[in-house]
Amino acid sequence: MNGSIKLVSVLGIPVEINATWLIAFVGISFYLSVVIFPDFISTWSIFQYWLAGTITTLLLFISVLAHELGHSIVALGQGLRVQGIVLLIFGGVSKIQGEASRPRNEFFIAFSGPAISFAIGIVFTIWWFSFLPISEDQVTPLHGVILYTGRMNLIVAVFNLIPAFPMDGGRVLRSIVWGVTGDPNRATNFAYAVGRYVFYVFIGYGAWQIINGDFGGGIWIIAIASFLMSSGKNEVRGRRAAQAMGSSPPDSSSSDSMDQLSFDVGRATRPMPPMFEAGWSVEQVTYQGLPANPLTSIPVGRQGELIGFILKQDLDNIPIHKRVSVTVGELMDSGSLRVISTHEPARSALQQMDGQRVNQLVVMEEDFVVGMVTRQDIVETLIEFRSANESAGSSDCGTPV
């Protein structure tokens, strides 16, 4: 992930810290030291408030790491690959490659993280009650650290189990719907739809907090909800693109679908994105602003001339310690540069991509480059085409006789 540095490896899983993590660390430490702990106890010194706030924040992020390790270890046990864990401003992310093969497997992967947070929260809470101070004078910063580390872990566990995809609770919901319906795509769409409504509620609550004077808390809630909603949207798009890449054109056995795929490629064409120079290192391009979708095609050029394409996931898969030496040109497949006329049918474009094993085609109008087209572009255009036809077909209109 851009702006991340490797910290350690735990059980062979690389752990990275994103630069945004420092913002969260400073912000949470400040809030605990200046607001929470002074409200909790009034007899400490300023140093003790900041000591307790800083240590509690550090333990919170260690707990978040344990939460993500729960996901990662269970995923490894399911035969999936874990690329690493990243700690960032809104918590942590386990970069798990591949999909659970069964609903039960997805349930265990999703639930394992909150289970770890629950366990940590319960242990610290029991620890607190085991030597509960009798008077305020007996409360030390250690007591405060124990109490709030336990509380915050319980909050993290409960919050993550809210059924809002892509949060853990949303993935648990997806696994349940998948198990009931037997359709993982339907389960994904359902969990994503529920998640959107939940996040809209969060955004509304954040706005209400701002109106009532809690500007910082309201902005934080809105930022988290917006980030999670965007992440869910990107993941759903990635899943749909992966489906399109890994299968034949949608409903290609149907003559009706084949007729719908007769629209011109130009209708699905997107402008050509900025090119990466073949001589640039992977580390250099990570600072250029990479797309979120791992299946996005990125053009590669040499001295301004287009020579091929790479996928964003090709860059992500390079280990951090090799990104300085590996160039974009080394990752590019020289056979990835294929062209098609803007007037060719979308059906031909999909057949050409399948036959030549590429994810995109350069679209030409005579001798000029119009843009590029990918499987995802064609699928999205086909969906729009079908939606327009269904809307027209369901209109309440008729002809008098």
For residues 217 and 209, the answer to whether their CB atoms sit within 8 Å is: yes
Which of 224 and 126 is assigned the larger pLDDT? 126
Residue 250 above 50 pLDDT? no
> pTM of the prediction?
0.59
pLDDT digits (tens, 9 = 90+) for 306-334: 888 888 888 888 888 888 888 888 888 87
Same domain, 270 and 325: yes
Q: Quick check: is 398 in a domain?
A: no
Same domain, 286 and 329: yes
Same domain, 170 and 287: no
Residue 396 above 50 pLDDT? no
Relative to beta strand 339-341, strand 360-365 is parallel
SS3 category, 379:
helix
Residue 247 above 60 pLDDT? no
Q: Quick check: is 84 in a domain?
A: yes
Q: Quick check: is 397 in a domain?
A: no
Question: What's the structural domain count of the chain?
Answer: 2
378: which residues sit within 8 A by CB, 6+ positions away?
A: 244, 249, 261, 265, 268, 346, 349, 350
User: What is the maximal distance between C-alpha atoms in the chain?
Assistant: 92
Same domain, 265 and 212: no
**Domain range enclosing 30:** 4-246
Same domain, 221 and 297: no
Q: Quick check: is 339 in a domain?
A: yes
Q: Quick check: is 49 in a domain?
A: yes
H or E element: which one contains 46?
helix 46-77
pLDDT digits (tens, 9 = 90+) for 35-83: 889 988 888 899 999 999 999 999 999 999 999 999 999 988 888 888 8
Same domain, 240 and 326: no
